[in-house]
Amino acid sequence: MATAGKVIKCKAAVAWEPNKPLVIEEIEVAPPQANEVRIKIVATGVCHSDLYHLFESMNNAYPIVLGHEGAGIIESVGPGVTEFQPGDKVIPLPVPQCRECRFCKSPKTNQCEKAWVADSGNVMALEDSRFTCKGKKVLQFMGTSTFSEYTVLNQIAVAKIDPAAPLDKVCLLGCGICTGYGAAVNTAKVEPGSTCAVFGLGAVGLAAVMGCYVAGAKRIIAVDINPEKFEKAKVFGATDFINPKDHDKPIHEVLSEMTNGGVDFSLECCGNVGVMRSALESCVKGWGVSVIVGWTDMHDFAARPIQLIAGRTWKGSLFGGFKSKDGVPEMVKAYLNKKIKLDEFITHNMTLAQVNDAIELMKQGKCIRTVLSVSPQ
């Protein structure tokens, strides 16, 4: 392409400071260096992790371009890149897969020693960035930054996908849908005929419901304080719905009564430490498995030792346990083969210029996923 090797000036939504609206700015995006690729972002979802950084996290990683749930087209590649070429359709990966470190070589985990989170899990951004704006370096969120018309990533953090994939749909596989679906299928290992409870019915929770359904669970209990989400949960396979506000006893007691002692599997998908405990306590003793999926690093969580001594398992899931370079293209194929749903998660379509409106919708719980059109294909 004509832009290869040159600095690209483009539009991006810059967070200059916490708790303030993002500002659409012209930024400079440097050419990819060794083992890097530059991507034209076509579409991106707005995920709660973006809001977490902006409104809840205590770190001071600013200015920064948020966004990590995107899809786009390779514009150019740096020296040493053989896996990609200009024109490839790709999904940036917040959790990379280098295929060389001890974690990548182990079937027991999907984490990678070369991930941003390995060095700076508290700030969600590496100091190295290819972005500048008004003469200042701008950080890249989770090493990705999809709220920009162009971004630069290390090739270990990019998945090449089927050229037939619609980028404005499969962008959701860059984070939320893989996170929830994989937490059920890969981490919890939900079994056919089992009973499950999913706490929190945002996109991640609904994807977890879908994962439980695809895994063959016979009963899937959706738990949320917003009753408007029940109809949406039904679409993905939920069989029962509980609003904790409708009950005067703890939710784990309600679930225990409904299920003769507790569910086989529970998934916490809202990032609330109190709900994490409720989800654990909702599991049946002896073999219940509870998975923490919601992202937070703000508070300690707690439980009584007897709850684990009695045979429950408490575990966490990052990006649904998917080894990203391997798993994301497979999930794209599953979508193209109509084995998983994506379109049904999308409640709003907007442009990058409307990013603050999309953030407000999510803050108020009025959307499942908003997809932003970033660049024309």
Residue 261 lies inside a defined structural domain of this protein: yes
pLDDT score of 123 = 47
Q: Is the pLDDT of residue 203 over 70?
A: yes
Residue 86 lies inside a defined structural domain of this protein: no
Helices 273-281, 251-258: inter-axial angle, 10-degree rounding: 30
Pairing verdict, β 195-199 and 265-268: parallel
pLDDT in tens, 58-97: 677 899 999 999 999 999 999 999 999 999 999 999 999 9
pLDDT score of 313 = 97
Higher pLDDT, 243 or 53: 243
pLDDT score of 207 = 98
Residue 62 lies inside a defined structural domain of this protein: no
Cis before 63? omega within 30: yes
The residues facing 325 across adjacent strands are none
Number of domains in the chain: 1
The boundaries of the domain holding residue 227 are 163-376
pLDDT score of 116 = 62
The residues facing 39 across adjacent strands are 74, 151
Q: At 250, which CATH number?
A: 3.40.50.720
Higher pLDDT, 375 or 115: 375
Residue 97 lies inside a defined structural domain of this protein: no
The chain-wide mean pLDDT, for the chain, equals 93
Higher pLDDT, 277 or 4: 277
Residue 292 lies inside a defined structural domain of this protein: yes
Share of the chain above pLDDT 90, in %: 83
pLDDT in tens, 146-172: 999 999 999 999 999 999 999 999 999
E-strand spans in the chain? 8-15, 23-29, 36-45, 64-65, 69-77, 89-92, 125-133, 136-141, 150-154, 158-160, 195-199, 219-223, 240-242, 265-268, 289-292, 313-316, 346-351, 369-373
Residue 37 is encoded by which pair of tokens? 């690729």
pLDDT score of 121 = 47
Nearest residue to 224 (alpha-carbon basis) of 212, 236, 233, 214: 233
Residue 359 lies inside a defined structural domain of this protein: yes
Q: Which residues of 229-251 are buried (b: 16+ CB within 10 A; e: fewer)?
A: bbebbeebbbbbbbeeeeeeeeb
pLDDT score of 158 = 97
| Alpha carbon 45 to chain centroid, angstroms | 9
pLDDT in tens, 307-347: 999 999 999 999 999 999 999 999 999 999 999 999 999 99
Residue 268 lies inside a defined structural domain of this protein: yes
Q: Is the pLDDT of residue 15 over 70?
A: yes
Check: CB of residue 37 under 8 Å from CB of residue 85: no
pLDDT in tens, 93-141: 999 999 999 999 999 999 998 876 544 444 456 667 899 999 999 999 9
User: Averaged over 228-233, what is the pLDDT?
Assistant: 92
